[in-house]
Amino acid sequence: MSQADGSDCATSQAPMWERGWYRFARKLNSPNFGQRPAGAKIDLIVLHAISLPPGQYGGDEVQRLFTNRLDWRAHPYFTTIEGAMVSAHFYIRRSGELWQFVSCDDRAWHAGVSEYRGRENCNDDSIGVEFEGVDDASFEAGQY
């Protein structure tokens, strides 16, 4: 069926997901990831809170941490995490802006040495979501 301007009404839209990447997220590739083990089944979502420095919001320090570009000398707190090679699949800013660093087909490095219900290595079968924030304060409505 055609519209009055001659364009096709039934246009195909781009897929929401492509090779584990969510099309509506801002993409920034992290080098901190690995392949999931053969047969891994994603059945766990791990939620985290992060802000760098702790309790300070709005900067690009989290993105820099997840891409190994954080200046460890820029703030005294950063020396306590110096050398950390971490990532998450997703990062949700306080504004609701969504970032993706690792394909959901791959294993992000967010859970560290972990165990859940008798299963070790939670990175193997989980999606890691970081919320810009701290554990003892509320998140913003836009993050939900």
Q: Please give the Cα distance from 121 to 34 (Å, whole number).
A: 13
* Angle at alpha carbon of residue 118, lines to 66 and 122, rounded to 5°: 15
Q: Is 130 a known active-site residue?
A: yes
The catalytic residue among 61, 82, 115, 130 is 130
Which residues are identified as catalytic? 130
